Chains A and B, each alone.
Chain A
Amino acid sequence: MKEEKEKLISNEEGKQAGEVSRRDFLVGAGTVVVGTAVGAGMLSGCSGGETTKTVETTKTVEKTVTTTVGGAGATVTETKTVGAGETVTATATKTVTQPGGGGLEPWQEPETPFPGAYGTDSNQACIADVKNGKIVRIRPFNWDYDVSEEDLKAAEWEFTAHGKTYKSFRRSHSSWFSMAYKKRIYSPARILFPVQRVDWEPGGDPDKINAQNRGISKYKRISWDTAATLIASEIKRVQDKYGVFSCLFAETPAHRETKVVHWPGNIQGRMLGGAVPGEAMFSEQVRNADSWEGYFWGLKWLAGEGNVGAVTPSTNNILDVAENCEMVVIQGCDRIVTGKAASCGTLNFLHKLGTIKHVYLAPDCNYQNAAYPGKWIPILPNTDIALSYAIVYTWLVEDTWDKEYVDTHVVGMEYIRDYAMGDVDGVAKTPEWASKRTGIPEWTIKALARAWAKYRTTAGHGTGGHVRGPYSHEEGRMTGVLMGMQGLGKPGQQWWGGFGGASPSRSADTSVGSARTPGRACRQVRNVRSKQFIPKTLVSPAILDHGFDKPMSWYGHTANAEMRPDQLIKFTYPIPQADGGAEIHLFWNDKPCNIGCWNAGHKLIEAFRSPKLEAFFTQHQWMSGDCVFADIILPINTAAEEDDLCNATGDQSAVFYKPRAIEPLGESKSDYEATLEVAYKLQEFGGRYAKAVENLTEGMDFDALIRYGYEGTQMAKTIPWEEFQKKSYLLAPVNPKWQESAPGLRRFYEDPVKYPRDLPSGKLEFYSQVLADNFPDDKERPPYPQYVIGGPNPNWEVNDTGWMHDESLDVENGAERCKQYPFLLQTNHPRWRVHVQCDDIPWFREVDTCKMKGPDGYMYEPLWINPIDAEKLGIRHGDIVKIFNERGIDLGAAYVSQRIIPGAVYQDHGAREDFVSSWPHECINRGGTNQQISPLPGVSRNCWGMASQAFLVGVEKLDPAEMEQWRTQHPHAFEWSKNWDPYVGYTFQDWLEQGGA
């Protein structure tokens, strides 16, 4: 397969490089030209061909120049002034190495383009240009590449609104993550060979596994054979001793690269029977709806199904917004951050229309808000529900809601009305009441309520925002109440949610030939469940606090793709021994990011240090996150290093065959290959492992896998595999009638009987009878949304007050912890990372909103703080600050900014861990990994999603004496980091014992 493709790409031979046309290079003549065009490539320095001639020149020039300020000289900049009449003497000596004649100069050396998609969490098409086996650049993709005009036209689309036309872009809007991915691929943090922690031995002997040293002790190099043998034999040993469910494997990992066949999804599980329901011989770590918890646990009960924060159907929402919407209310979300560059075209177009007012409700003036015209209404974190109720109150009092719609489309309005008016608890939810809680002036709350009632308003969401904090299901549902009271589904009144990109193609009906399925096609099982599983949010308590003597229970699989009724099912860990239940003693995690972007990282560290965990394995491209706690780490390569399929998108959608752009770095292998290595070893044991390899491969080699993947796409229904082989990619044609599909919830609006919501009543359920019946005593998620802030409950597992959280500033309503930790730390999706990924890219770290160089030269994660708060605390821009609560200490650099509301501070989540101390109860993290001090409990008691977006902290300027004290107490943490490149952070090499490489 690979050879065939290369042949296709390098289609013409024997040309002189100088004569090669653009077209030739675009189709990859470079591959051949490297061979024919000489030592050309070599001249510039690879291997020094015979024609190389080196010229060395040394010259010294001395001259005196007088530059006068004034006249033209006034243009001299302030920072580089040459004073009037001052003389400047310049002497320069240098050695110049220059290639001699005979070959090509570096700029002319041929390059080979590799189209596809590279990056983390972005499938925007791009091209990697390769020269002499190294990636020269990664650039946006032009869809006129290697395609017929006819095919291109079939994939393009346009629409007109208010006399302005949006036409799909021919150049992809690749994100900055892709554009800088070269640094990621060649990062010094890349794990280049398998390693084993120096003081871990297999066998489970507590004295020999040295669990207490995880995260501290270094690593030694081992061979692939040793690594695979150790992992396989430990799996067997642990399963023999404790039962098959004692091994915990990760389910769908978050934020993969752009891989398909080589993707890690559920891969260890598949090896042990995970592709067949009920036959899985492992426990599964299940990923929750980490970026839209409030919609998952709340909105689904009010508006019915939806995914990734959208309410389905969401077809043609953007078309409807462009044509009919007058106001978009964006609650905390930031499409520049989560949709990245892919959002720019649409956002620019919507703003150009000049017909839509954008209102941003967020503690921070986020990147979309800061760049585009619009109204920022700063609001304290975790208080959106109070604002929403004050809006309802205003509508009720002023009689400006759509009663007719509510009569026919809603059940339970009376509950909302009674609660808003104070009939339930004696507190009317007036704008004045809400103002005290949200920090928004009363007049602005009323103005927003009136504008919302007056204008056709769409709720705009792009994941994150107000639905990742404690009790976020209340506000998740409450936004549904607001939309419902004004007529959800009416023209211009949609729920514009969903993942990232705002491109119309993401919501258009392109079902004629959707290219977006190879991921699923390649057996990347998402919903197969092992009989015993643990939600990702509950891994640390499972290891530390629970077992057969003290089982734990929760509701639902918690997995992001689950349907609403799943939330009613109660599960337990461990499952009964009679059913094969087992306590966890081995953990194999891929894309290990649990500490950096999941709940209560401090507790996970404690779990990783538990001797109960006899073996902890990870596989990853980069030395970061949970990797440094592992006993064995397998080196994984990037998407650029494997032949694979790739479903790349832009305003268009396409399936690519993507040959490897470069050879795998070091001894790295793909996730699939790495797991296969272990499968071969397991298979040797026979018995329950006899089919380990077959389970994984299903008898297919890579070429067959790629074909299997292609044939699983919609595209394959019309274009056979043989045709696909002849091309580097296939564009998905757009349904020419795409604009005719009813947008969003229009049909529900027009005929709720014929097109009901998938809820028992078929209507929007402001009051959920199902919740009322199933959770009659749940005061955190009652049957209809309420202003819930929780309350003190220092030890909820022992002495239960009924609350899971106390992360509020509302002292009047019983908040206590805020007296000790008076700031709410908001931790949005990061601007310069995809969760924990990409923190080692130097070109990002040069930007102040990514990292700030502290007085000690260390690159700290910025902490936004309003000048009012900064002044109170004696903090100046650039100071090192301590962000803390009872869970630990996180460091940052003060970014004194008007972009954050007083009372809250802001720091992106996901910064790379760098522990001064990682011991439980005294965690000090210099890297700014704030999720480490986030709350453990789920969104609420019966909703084990995560609630780590906004929580209470104290903030202080770090006393240099304290830093000195840490240096004395933990010299190791400072000594071994002193050689780090501040623009990268720690490297793979840093974690190897001396001579280990």
Chain B
Amino acid sequence: MKAIVFNVLQCVGCYSCQIGCKDEHCGNDWMPYARPQPETGQFWMKLREFERGATPQVKVSYTPVPCMHCDDAPCMEACLTEGAIIKRADGLVIIDPIKCSGCQLCITACPYGAIFYNSGLQIAQKCTGCAHLIDRGWPIKEPRCINNCPGDVGAFGEESELASEIAQAEKLEPNFGETPKVRVYYKGLPKRFIAGCVYNPATKDVVIGATCTVSGAAGNTSAATDDFGDFWFEGLSKGTFTLTISGDGKTKTITGDTTEKDVALGDIALT
């Protein structure tokens, strides 16, 4: 059974995965696996881009999102036509371009928004895992998005071979629960961060080595500010927090909430 593990920490947002998918499928007919993808507007592989934080504590997170090739795929359940969406022995889920009636129920059913309607061809389409390449074994034996990646973000292979990677990975949407069971996993998915720069307004110096402690629903952790007076807590949960900063004989308490977004506190005067 095939699986993919994306280590998004290695992703620099080059979009070669999304572009490679288009290069493979736009204007190319891979029947019986897939008819061509429309030139624009559809993303069998979509790189999601999120800007996080606020000036000057800003990061951008990138997450590649193809079809999850679910084992109990909601699209298969929703499909009108018997056998139009098939689960292959290797785990890949394929929409049969011939059998698909174009009813679009699968599009509604997919919780990941991974299926698109091709109005020209009147069929639903999505990532095939580049099954045509896997099956014929040339010129490459893996999906284009994986092969195109300069950062080795994605690993494609047998689930058993990727077991140790999968053990450290998570689902794209953990809150979806156990079902559907996905075959695409992620390492390093962005959580919430709290960041800031601590300075002494009297001396106009950053405060190095100030103890910063986060507590609350967002997480419980502690660190000292670095040479730039910075603290940057990664991997926090969504929720309220209390941040206590102690340094230069002073203590400051800040409360906040990471539920909606990351918290960039900018320059914090320690008074």
* Chain A CB within 10 Å, residue with most, of B40, B141, B150, B152: B150
Considering only residues 432-471 of chain A, those with a C-beta below 8 Å from chain B are 432, 441-444, 446-448, 450-451, 454
**Across the interface, do B139 and A22 meet the contact criterion of CB distance under 8 Å?**
yes
CB-nearest residue of chain A to B74: A75
Give the distance in Å from the alpha carbon of A241 to the alpha carbon of B55 in the complex.
61
A828 and B67 alpha carbons, distance in the complex (Å): 35
Whether B13 and A367, one on each chain, are in contact in the complex, defined by CB atoms closer than 8 angstroms, is: yes
- Could you say which of A341-349, A570-578, A618-626 contacts chain B? A341-349
Asked if B51 and A897 make an inter-chain contact with CB atoms under 8 angstroms apart, the answer reads yes
| 6 cross-chain CB contacts under 8 A | A26-B139, A77-B113, A90-B101, A139-B23, A139-B148, A174-B150
Counting chain B CB atoms within 10 Å of each CB, which of A107, A174, A442 scores highest?
A: A107
The answer to whether B169 has its CB under 8 Å from any CB of chain A is: no
Question: Do B111 and A61 touch across chains, with their CB atoms under 8 A apart?
Answer: no
A99 at interface, CB cutoff 8 A: yes
Are the C-beta atoms of A92 and B102 separated by less than 8 Å?
yes
Check B158 for interface membership: any CB of A closer than 8 A: no
Docked complex Cα distance between A26 and B5 (Å):
27
- Residues from 28 to 45 in B contacting A, C-beta threshold 8 Å: 28-33, 39-41, 43
Q: Nearest 6 A-B pairs (CB), nearest first?
A: A90-B103, A341-B150, A75-B111, A92-B102, A370-B60, A173-B150
Binary per-residue interface labels of chain A (364-400) against chain B in the complex, 1 for a CB within 8 Å, 0 otherwise: 0101101110011110000000000000000000000
- Once A336-B12, A372-B12 are accepted as A-B contacts, the answer to whether A99 and B31 lie under 8 Å apart by CB is yes
Question: Which segment of B85-93, B224-232, B244-252 sits at the interface?
Answer: B224-232
Q: A44-B29, A107-B31, A180-B23 are in contact. Are A72 and B74 (CB under 8 A)?
A: yes
> Is A127 interfacial (CB-CB < 8 Å)?
yes
**Cβ-based interface call for A79 (8 A):** yes
CB within 8 Å for A72 and B108 given contacts A129-B139, A344-B150, A451-B228: no
Contact residues in B for A342 (Cβ distance below 8 Å) = 150
Decide: A898 and B58 in contact? CB cutoff 8 A: yes
* 9-residue interface stretch from A536-544, A603-611, A816-824, A841-849: A841-849
Chain A min CB distance to B153 (Å) = 9
**B199 CB–A CB distance under 8 Å:** yes
Give residues 327-378 of A contacting B (CB, 8 Å).
336, 340-342, 344-345, 347-348, 357, 365, 367-368, 370-372, 375-378
Which residues of A in the span 67-122 have a Cβ within 8 Å of any Cβ on B?
67, 72, 74-77, 79-80, 82, 88, 90-96, 98-99, 105-108, 111, 113
Q: How many whole Å from B84's CB to the nearest CB in chain A?
A: 10
Residues in A with CB closer than 8 Å to B109 are 67, 76, 82
Contact between B20 and A370, CB atoms less than 8 A apart = no
A98 touching B98 by the CB < 8 A rule?
Answer: yes
* B236 adjacent to chain A (CB < 8 Å): no
A340–B16 Cα distance when bound, in Å, is 11
In the assembled complex, the CB of B263 is this many whole angstroms from the nearest CB of chain A, namely 13
Q: CA separation between A444 and B228, bound complex, in Å? A: 7
Contact A444 B110 (CB under 8 A): no
A61 contacts which of B23, B101, B140 (Cβ < 8 Å)? B101
CB of A708 within 8 A of chain B? Answer: no
In the complex with contacts A75-B74, A371-B12, A899-B51, A842-B40 CB distance below 8 A = yes
- Please indicate the chain B residues that have their CB under 8 angstroms from the CB of A180 in the complex: 19, 22-23
User: Are B22's CB and A843's CB within 8 A?
Assistant: yes
- Tell me which residues across on chain B come within 8 A of A173, comparing CB atoms: 150
A528 at the interface (CB under 8 A from B): no
Question: B241: CB under 8 A from chain A?
Answer: no
Residue in contact with A94 in the complex, picked from B101, B144, B176, CB distance below 8 Å: B101
Chain A residues whose CB sits within 8 angstroms of the CB of B33 once the complex forms: 107
- Determine how close the nearest CB of chain B comes to the CB of A766; give it in whole angstroms: 27
- Is the pair B81, A61 in contact by a Cβ cutoff of 8 Å? yes
Complex Cα–Cα for A348 and B148 (A) = 16
Residues of A within 8 A of B141 (CB): 22
Which A residues touch B29, using CB under 8 A?
A: 44-45, 106
> Would A77 and B16 count as touching, CB distance under 8 A?
no
Least CB distance from B228 to A in Å reads 5
**List of B residues within 8 angstroms of A897 by Cβ:** 51
Given contacts A77-B113, A371-B13, contact A25 B139 (CB under 8 A): yes
A contact set with B: CB distance below 8 Å: 20-22, 25-26, 44-45, 57, 59, 61, 63, 65, 67, 72, 74-77, 79-80, 82, 88, 90-96, 98-99, 105-108, 111, 113, 127, 129, 136-140, 171, 173-176, 179-180, 182, 336, 340-342, 344-345, 347-348, 357, 365, 367-368, 370-372, 375-378, 431-432, 441-444, 446-448, 450-451, 454, 842-849, 866, 897-902, 983
With A72-B179, A107-B30 already in contact, the answer to whether A376 and B12 are too (CB < 8 A) is no
Counting CB contacts under 8 A, is B186 at the interface?
no
Residue numbers in B under 8 Å from A108 (CB-CB): 136
Asked if B137 and A377 sit within 8 Å, CB to CB, the answer is no
Take A77-B113, A901-B55 as given contacts and tell me if A107 and B107 are in contact as well, using a CB distance cutoff of 8 Å: no
A113–B139 CA distance with the chains assembled, in angstroms: 8
Q: Is the CB of A368 within 8 A of B31?
A: no
Interchain CB contact under 8 A, A106 and B30:
yes
Smallest CB separation, B86 vs chain A (Å): 16
Task: State how many angstroms separate the Cβ of A842 from the closest Cβ of chain B.
Answer: 5
CB distance from B260 to the nearest CB of A (A): 15
Q: Closest chain B residue to A352 by CB distance?
A: B10
**A105 lies within 8 A of B32 (CB):** yes
In whole angstroms, what is the CA distance A44 to B151 when docked?
36
A985: min CB distance to chain B, Å: 13
- Residue-wise interface mask of B (164-207) relative to A, using a CB-CB cutoff of 8 A (1 in contact, 0 not): 00000000000011011000000000000000010110001110
CB contact under 8 A between A80 and B138, given known A106-B31, A139-B148: no
B159 at the interface (CB under 8 A from A): no
User: Are A344 and B101 interface neighbours, CB within 8 A?
Assistant: no
Additional pairs, 16, CB under 8 Å, beyond known A75-B180, A451-B228, A847-B18: A76-B108, A76-B109, A80-B107, A82-B109, A108-B136, A137-B144, A139-B144, A171-B147, A179-B19, A371-B12, A443-B204, A444-B228, A447-B208, A448-B228, A843-B19, A897-B51
Query: Known: A80-B110, A92-B101. Is A176-B31 also a contact (CB below 8 A)?
Result: no
Contact with A447, one of B15, B81, B140, B206 (Cβ below 8 angstroms): B206
Asked if B14 and A341 make an inter-chain contact with CB atoms under 8 angstroms apart, the answer reads yes
- List, in ascending order, chain B residues with CB within 8 A of A176's CB: 14-16, 19
A698 to B80 Cα, complex, angstroms:
70
- Name B60's contact: one of A129, A371, A446, A454 (CB within 8 Å): A371
In this complex, what residue of A is CB-closest to B131?
Answer: A107
Tell whether, in the assembled complex, residue B136 and residue A107 are in contact, meaning their CB atoms are under 8 Å apart. Answer: yes
